[in-house]
Structure 1
Amino acid sequence: MVTSEAAAPADVDTALGDLQTHLNLIFARTRTLWRESAARIDPELQVGGYKLLTFIDRAGSASAHELAERFEMDKSVISRQVRMLEELGLIESRPDERDGRLRVLTATPSACSALTGLRSDHASRLRTVVAELTQDEIRAASKVFRLLSEV
């Protein structure tokens, strides 16, 4: 006979296994969405460049040093991605007013417009997916993702 106390850890393990499975599926879907989104901005835009561009756009501006730290990427990788973003006309670079050795990167108006359209599409998809959930369920899911992001 199994007591409720003995069954609880097994139930939790099963639930955690389901959570891990679904997180893996979300990560896979996210990678696909990044590829699709990058291609919508420009067919030559790589996923890494797309991530940098979205960060620059949301932050308003960034330096290559900030990007390297934020994304834990080698400076040479950041440099290549920044060069490609500039060549595609998606970012502009200007000297930092406080430190002329640094460059400040900003998204071009056309990149900002394209990203706004993508975000609108993504938000619409998300609204459709969560339409059957209550606000409390959405808040609970958000709390889980916030806690997971802090691990």
Structure 2
Amino acid sequence: MSAQQAADELDEQLAEFQSQLNLMFAKARTLWKESAARVHPELQPAGYKLLTFIARSGGTNAHQLSECFEMDKSVVSRQVRMLEELGLLESRADERDGRLRVLTAAPRALEMLAALRADHAERMRSAMIGLTPAEIEVASKVFRVLAEA
């Protein structure tokens, strides 16, 4: 195989990979929307993503959320306010810096997120049942490389 043929084949494989990645992102957006609605009918997908991050982290502040998700502070502020109004988020003054608010998921939200996590894990297991541990490891490596790019 010539160098040009190898380059063309690689381009074709990367195009197919990108196509599959686009489909996966579309599915993820649908899953976030469905999951947000299961937590609360008024919860937006952006709020759901912030809530899951807050729950996993055990507590954070709006500034960290804004940086992590590359969202404008006003968007984060609106989502945090909505989460608080829905009773899904609790806020308290930061002990080290009283100007900051520490955000934590409310117990009710933690329960709902745990149920969703179990459903999502089962969906993931079902989808990946035919893969070997080595294939899953390679997939994880690919996503790690893309996340760091």
TM over 0.5: yes
Superposed displacement of residue 5, structure 1 = 3.3
1:20 aligned counterpart, secondary structure: helix
Give runs of ≥4 in structure 1 deviating > 4 Å: none
Superposed displacement of residue 6, structure 1 = 3.1
Residue 133 (structure 1) aligned with residue 128 (structure 2):
no
**Alignment partner of 2:122 out of 117, 121, 124:** 124
Aligned residue number for residue 78 of structure 1: 76
Q: Which amino acid aligns with 2:14?
A: L
Q: Over aligned residue pairs, what C-alpha RMSD do you find?
A: 0.9
Residues matched between the structures, number: 149
**Alignment partner of 1:59 out of 42, 57, 73:** 57
Superposed displacement of residue 10, structure 1 = 1.2
Q: Deviation per CA, 1:32-64, whole angstroms, max 9, x where unpaired?
A: 000000000000001111111011000000111
Superposed displacement of residue 11, structure 1 = 1.0
Matches within 5 A, 1:65-104: 65-104=63-102
Cα distance in 1 for partners of 2:94, 2:87 equals 20
Unaligned runs of 5+ in 1: none
Cα distance in 2 for partners of 1:116, 1:40 equals 12
Cα distance in 2 for partners of 1:72, 1:16 equals 27
Q: Give aligned-pair identity as a percent.
A: 62
Aligned residue number for residue 104 of structure 2: 106
Cα distance in 1 for partners of 2:73, 2:147 equals 25
Superposed displacement of residue 78, structure 1 = 1.2
Q: Deviation per CA, 1:113-148, whole angstroms, max 9, x where unpaired?
A: 100111111111111111001111111111111111
Cα distance in 1 for partners of 2:10, 2:66 equals 38
Aligned residue number for residue 20 of structure 2: 22
